[in-house]
Amino acid sequence: MADCLAGRESGTDELSQQVKRAKTDSENGREAERESECQNILTGFKTSSVLNDSAREKVIFVHGKLADQEAVVIMEKTPVREDTLAELFSGSTLNLEMKNDIYSTYQLQAPPHLNKIKTTVVCPATEKHVKKYQRQELFLVEETGEDYQSITLPYIQQQSFSLQWVYNILEKKAEADRIVYEDPDTKDGFVLAPDFKWDQKQLDDLYLLAIVNRRDIKSLRDLTSEHVPLLQNVFQKGKEAILQRYKLPASKLRVYLHYQPSYYHLHVHFTKLGFEAPGCGVERAHLIGDVIQNLQSDPQYYKTRTLYFQLKENDGLLSKFKEAGKL
């Protein structure tokens, strides 16, 4: 797609040059994303409830049924891109809403190809998916190393989301044409691919995921100093790959792990600094640089430390902490 990856951050000449170069890369065909039309499977979608929405983020999470199967549909308006401005100005219709002195507001009707909604479908969705996207009150949990062993680990062994999509990426059964970088080493290697929350149309919300090849590390809690070479490899080569592909230097990246993650196969989030990605707050994101240093100073750091994270009121893990008298 030739018009992808045009940046909107025109504040610095250097960065806009980097964005332009990234766009040129894209035009040369290096961008993996392919857009294809498909049958509209959502014509028969029957809405049951709105799980969550945000006028500011322009996103809605809907629970419903798709051909008698439970489904969650996420619809998100995409950002206005600098490289489409000329076409937006010249090719749209404009309806005046109000005019007052030098001020006026309009409804601009953009051409269809500039007026898209990024849509994610989870089908069949489990009850856990429905709960995950439901707006709920949040609670901060303090989890000691012992709590992890006695409460969290037994729960996640029984109740985790399927990792099939992760294995599909590692085995090239899905998203193979989206892979940005791969290190095939079985011990320290990983696959770097765009996160499915990123539509790859602009760098402002850049979001990639490094998924490690090893299948024996569930989360931060499993990490010891033995894994420092793995983390360093992901950090270093991930940054290099992003610099090469998107011309974004390490100083523009936020690289972190989630605790708790939703998917218990070790993966590292690479997002653009300044982009408020869901889950980048202090109660969930652990910078990979800090994780490496903590393990270097104490090999058992993540086995023994109390870790803090938020859980939704309807989360089964929260119930387990309550039952254990920890909340």
- Distance CA(253)–CA(208), nearest Å, equals 11
Mark the segment that binds ligand GTA (CB under 6 A) among 8-16, 96-104, 192-200, 247-255. Answer: 192-200
Q: What is the DSSP string of 158-205?
A: HHPPP-HHHHHHHTTSSSGGG--EEE--TTT-EEEEE-TT--SS-GGG
Nearer to ligand GTA, 18 or 258 (CB): 258
Q: Which stretch binds ligand GTA (CB under 6 A): 63-71, 103-111, 188-196, 318-326?
A: 188-196
Instruction: Give the residues across from 92 on adjacent strands.
Output: none
Which is nearer to ligand GTA, 17 or 168 (by Cβ)?
A: 168
Burial (Cβ within 10 Å: 0-12, 13-18, ≥19) of residue 56: exposed
CB of 278 to ligand GTA, least distance (A): 3
In angstroms, the CA 33 to CA 28 distance is 13
Residue 196 interacts with ligand GTA (CB under 6 A): yes or no: yes
Task: Locate 79 and state its tokens.
Answer: 């950002």
Candidate ranges 7-15, 32-40, 103-111, 260-268; the one touching ligand GTA (CB under 6 A) = 260-268
Q: Is 227 a catalytic residue?
A: no
Interhelix angle 228-246/288-297, nearest 10 degrees: 160
Return the SS3 of 129: helix
Total residues binding ligand GTA (CB under 6 A): 19
Contact segment (CB under 6 A) with ligand GTA among 19-27, 255-263, 287-295, 313-321 equals 255-263
48 in Cβ contact with 65 (< 8 Å): yes
CA-CA distance, 286 to 305, in Å (whole number)? 13
Measured from the CB atom, the residue of 88 and 121 that comes closer to ligand GTA is 121
Residue 202 structure tokens:
């602009």
Indicate which single residue of 16, 78, 120, 160 sits in contact with ligand GTA (rule: CB under 6 A).
120
Residue 278 interacts with ligand GTA (CB under 6 A): yes or no: yes
Is 167 a binding residue for ligand GTA by CB under 6 A? The answer is: no
Residue 74 as a binder of ligand GTA (CB under 6 A): the answer is yes
Closest CB to ligand GTA among residues 132, 247:
132
Q: Is residue 231 involved in binding ligand GTA (CB under 6 A)?
A: no
Considering the rule CB under 6 A, would residue 76 count as an interface residue with ligand GTA?
A: yes
Q: Which of 66, 156, 209, 288 binds ligand GTA (CB under 6 A)?
A: 209
Residues 6+ positions from 281 with CB-CB distance below 8 Å: none
Locate 301 and state its tokens: 């750091």
228 is an interface residue for ligand GTA by CB under 6 A? no
Would you give the binding string for ligand GTA spanning residues 33-52, x where CB under 6 A is met?
Answer: --------------------
Q: Does 195 bind ligand GTA (CB under 6 A)?
A: yes
How far, in Å, CA of 234 to CA of 120, rounded?
27
Classify residue 251 by burial, with Cβ atoms within 10 Å: 0-12, 13-18, 19+. Answer: exposed
Structure tokens at 85: 């401005």
Residues within the annotated binding site for substrate? 165, 175, 195, 197, 258-269
Q: Which residues bind ligand GTA (CB under 6 A)?
A: 59, 74, 76, 120, 132-133, 165, 175, 193, 195-197, 209, 258, 261-263, 278-279
Task: Point out the residues that are catalytic.
Answer: 267
